[in-house]
Amino acid sequence: MEKEEKKFVNKAEEEEMEIHGYELCQWKLVLVTVGVICSGGFLLLLLYWMPQWRVKATCRKTTLKDCEVVLLRTTDEFKKWFCAKVRVMPSSGASPLQNPDPVGHKVSNGHTVHFCESAAEGNKNYLRKYLPIRYFTHHSTKYFWNDSAQSFDVVRGLDDSTFCSSIHNEHSRGLTKEMHDYRKMFFGINEIAVKVPSIFKLLIKEVLNPFYIFQLFSVILWITDKYYYYALAIVIMSVISIVSSLYTVRKQYVMLRDMVAAHSIVRVSVCRGNQEIEEILSTDLVPGDIMLIPSNGTIMPCDAVLLSGTCIVNESMLTGESVPVTKINLPNPSEYPKATGDEIYSLEVHKRHTLFCGTNVIQTRFYTGELVKALVVRTGFNTAKGQLVRSILYPKPTDFKLYRDAYWFLLFLVVVAGIGFIYTIVNSILNEVPAHTIIIESLDIITITVPPALPAAMTAGIVYAQRRLKKIGIFCISPQRINICGQLNLVCFDKTGTLTEDGLDLWGIQRVENARFLSPEERACSESLLKSEFIACMATCHSLTKIEGVLSGDPLDLKMFEAIGWELFELSTGYEIGIVRQFPFSSVLQRMCVIARILGEKRMDAYMKGAPEVIASLCKQETVPVDFESVLEEYTKQGFRVIALAHRKLESKLTWHKVQTINRDAIESNMDFMGLIIMQNKLKQETPAVLEDLHKANIRTVMVTGDNMLTAISVARDCGMILPQDKVIIAEALPPKDGQAARINWHYADTLARCTSSSPAINSEDIPVKLVHESLEDLQMTKYHFAMNGKSFAVILEHFQDLVPKLVLHGTVFARMAPDQKTQLVEALQNVDYYVGMCGDGANDCGALKRAHGGISLSELEASVASPFTSRTPSISCVPKLIREGRAALITSFCVFKFMALYSIIQYISVTLLYSILSNFGDHQFLFIDLAIILVVVFTMSLNRAWKELVARRPPSGLISGPLLCSVLSQIMICLVFQILGFLWVRQQPWFERWTPESDACNILDATNISSAHNGSETLDDDEHNIRNYENTTLFFISSFQYLIVAIVFSKGKPFRQPCYKNLLFVISLVVLYIFLFFIMLHPTELIDTSFELVCVPYEWRLRILIIVIVNAIVSVLMENVLLDMILWKVVFNRDKQGEYRLTMPQPPQEAVDRRGVCFLSSLFGYREKTPKAKYMHLAQELLVDPEWPPKPRTTTEAKVPSQENGSYQIITLT
């Protein structure tokens, strides 16, 4: 078969996947069945865990056209595999959006049938009536065969390539019953089905986890070897873990199901093609149905575009803003003779005409008895709400270096276990040990080296951190993200409602008369202004509505309306204005407009408000004051939010009916500029202090807002995000136009107003100076910041890809950003290796909150279900708290992993040494070590609370790093040396002999001990495992103390966790264990010796064991706290491993001396500076020596023509 080119589904989308076709192969199935039987089912488990192996082992490759199974692989960095079965359904047509054609004609005429392959032979009558349509389902999405593309494709609704004129002219009549049934075959039931799996299914899925399979193997092995107690303990732990996991998973499914159940089944009225109105269940809706919106409102069961009437909608489910939004009908381009042309309907562009699934329609408005109609465009999981639920049901895997390194470390332990496995077999064969014993002991060494309790131990720190976060009002739905938050080194903040207060206060107004600004006025409700056009604009140009007698709407509109002292609908004066038509606010157009008429007047007026720059551009230039830009800049630099107003008298021939169909562009032109409304948005009280804490901790802060850029820069300066002496460079990017290439104009914010005229030469102090130092750690970073708006960001992403990393490296203010652009910014920061946090109030931040490494929503609305963390308190003070807890949890994970690794290796060394003399630890010895020491220590050492403040260091991001590896390897070597010392030294003692029940080594010093030893031994004459001997007793005491020693050594406190002595339970556990071990070692008792299968040794040897333990403890502590932490860490590892750059001040003389000492030691160890691993740090080094960076004021970066090579941009200095 010829090699088939690669095929993709969801091409160029976020869920893009590579697709391969396979068909079942009988002889492969037979071989796999035999393999499963021979392997005792293990092969079946392996194929269950690895879908790509499962498909390749049971199927053979074929074309997608003929396949029975598809194999899918994501094209992102995770490269995950999925498989799905191809199914066939009978249909009377091939495309759901086209009328079904008679299949008999197609077959008889031999025409190609789209979306399906040739019908198989069968019943001819059946073929004449139905056509087999092939499809598969993946992640709640159906993919149908597309014959023209020779691949599978998603059948989309009317939101794909449908023109606005077509929506009105072709789709506004509704569907016939036959067409409705035909489309339902393709689109299925309109529901977002969150099926809560049965407990049995969840149990099977959980139990088949590789971790539990290994535990099952271990338990069977221990029971075979009569280690009943520990096996029972592990079973109990596993049962508790499984029950807890099942409860949590099922609870999340139930919560998600309840969240989406609001629109599951409601009764709706639809218009059929014959103009009849039929009442159906919402689950029967399909794209193309005309839905009637009831006057008392409803929960939208689908995505629909409004064809007639107006709706007041609460979109808090999707946007996080519980502010009513006005939706108007989609204009019909064919009714506007002066329209620029037809356009394709898009949910994003036409969202002000679209009712989204899950949103609450509060009220409807209609004219002259006309029904409020909406055309269904998307249903089920294709809706906006469905996509949100899909992202929760099928999240992207968490990629974190700690977890990747953990797998490598486990692999290393498996290799070590393999060595022990081979050694045990060889040694046992040489000593003629029975085959049964060889098998058990060789397999047992694997369970010793790879501890089954490791995952539970690693999870403990995260669980404790999650509980602590809950106590301070931070809720977490993705516990694994807590560790990742410990690595955050950049946090993006939304502005309004996050850094600043939610509400806006009216600071004042500044009217314009005769193209000149009047003095600012504090009050807008004075008697002299009552009948002015300025007040009329404030009274009418808004989207407010009364819902159950309460005025609701945008907070800015509310404040503006309250300031004039008017009332909506119930006017207290004789002066009344009626709103005839409203053009709602559009974030794309950055303005809103209304047409109104004063009671008694014949002519209508148009009032407009919006972004000052936009409003001024739509006004007659002679009405705009000459100093407009300087006045606006003065307000925005002070952090005020400025709204401009404009007015226009409409022609008297413009009737009410014409107004209802007139194009918006025809109204919003040739306006008279009326003045400015100045709103004040105050910083939250805690904002400056929190940002200062983050800066001290070397955590970058970035502002991402939908507000004006200069306002955002002003807020950034006020809150300390940009220091007073720092320069701000504004990147104004322009797309290609009239044959000119795309370009970026660079302005300095403080001199922006002067740039428009012939300004004098720029002072050299205006250009940031770069200071180059010996090493990156002492780098005095350049004090400049980039700022840009959403339009510029979009142009830069498209035409200046090479500049994106440089701009995000110092980008601090991103204004007028759309929701998808916030997500793109987070991705751009992640692409240069930043660990990005995102903090927003849930309004339009959902995508960025999901995409960031740590998303924190300050809103408890339903949109926060997309965010890993939600703060009960709407304050950014939760950010440093979360990072501190994340750092503590991350360090706890490292401590636990290091401790568990040492536990495995220490026990591995002990058992290997005992295996050399055909001995082992006894059941009660293993039980004491594994339960009384290991589990108690692990679950108490994880209780250390977070350090009280953030420090300017981050924990290591992975296990495979210099400091951690040195720490683990050094402790392994110390434990190895002292165990071998004890093992060999005891064999050199004059009283040493091969222990037998008649041995009496204790009679040298204490006759009492002899009798106790003999009395105890009489009950254990039958010692088939050779447990009772001097080597066993010696290694048991030494290894037991070693576990406690490494527990203390690895329980690091400051700077990320509270000191271990403040962890009361941990301290009590250690003290009790130390007392018990000292007691049984220095004061042996018959009961304990008999239970632990210890033999009596001379008291002198017990003191020598004590000396070995004390020396071991001293060496371990000195190695970890002095040699590693104080010397090697500072000399070898104290360059910024995470790739951080620090803003350091000039060094005092003493620090300079210390620096020279460190340099000397570095050269002594042969250490050389290496290129930083983090991309952004490497880029920072390169930019230090780049003479063209940062761009100078009044220069332009121009994109090169595509035919040119060697770079994609050039810098041109404008004269």
Cis peptide before 1202, with omega less than 30 degrees from 0? no
Quote the distance between the C-alpha of residue 139 and its chain's center.
19
Cβ within 8 Å of residue 1010, ≥6 positions away = 1000, 1002, 1003, 1096
Burial 240-263 (b: 16+ CB within 10 A, else e): ebbeeebeeeeeebeebbebbeeb
Distances (CA, A) of 644 to 455, 541, 1152: 60, 11, 57
> Locate tokens 């401790």: which residue?
899
How many whole angstroms separate alpha carbon 977 and alpha carbon 905? Answer: 13
Alpha-carbon distances of 601 from 492, 527, 535, 575, 646, rounded to whole Å: 51, 21, 17, 11, 19
Catalytic residue among 494, 554, 707, 845: 494
Q: Cα 282 from chain centroid?
A: 33
Query: How far is 9 from 144, CA to CA, in rounded Å?
Result: 11
* Coil, strand or helix at 1212: strand
- Is omega for the bond preceding 1055 within 30 degrees of 0, making it cis? yes
Q: Which neighbouring-strand residues pair with 154?
A: 143
Characterise 925 by phi-psi region: left (phi > 0), alpha (psi -120 to 50), beta (else). alpha
Q: What is the dihedral of CA 167, 173, 174, 175, to 10 degrees?
A: -110
How far is it, in rounded angstroms, from Cα 810 to Cα 804? 10
Neighbours of 142 (CB within 10 A): 19
Give the H or E element holding residue 581: strand 577-586
List C-alpha distances in Å: 646 to 585, 592, 599, 607, 643: 15, 11, 20, 6, 10
Pairing of strands 700-704, 640-649: unpaired
3-state secondary structure of 746: strand
Residues 58, 32: contact at Cβ < 8 Å? yes
Catalytic residue status for 494? yes
The answer to whether the CB of 839 falls within 8 A of the CB of 498 is: yes
User: What is the SS3 assignment for 703?
Assistant: strand
Q: What gap in Å lies between CA 638 and CA 927, rounded to an integer? A: 69
Nearest Cα neighbor of 1089 from 1003, 1011, 1012 is: 1012
d(CA 813, CA 707): 11
d(CA 856, CA 846): 10
Q: Give the C-alpha separation, 1122 to 1128, whole Å.
A: 9
For residues 274 and 176, the answer to whether their CB atoms sit within 8 Å is yes
1184 exposure class (CB count in 10 Å sphere: 0-12, 13-18, 19+)? middle
Query: Do 21 and 60 touch, CB atoms closer than 8 A?
Result: no
Burial track 578-602 (b if 16+ CB lie within 10 A, e otherwise) = eebbbbbbbeebbbbbbbbbbeeee
Q: How many other CB atoms sit within 10 Å of the CB of residue 123? A: 9
Say if CB 225 and CB 444 are below 8 A apart: yes
Locate 830 and state its tokens. 């992640």
Measured CA to CA, the distance from residue 754 to residue 748 in angstroms comes to 10
Active-site annotation, residues: 494
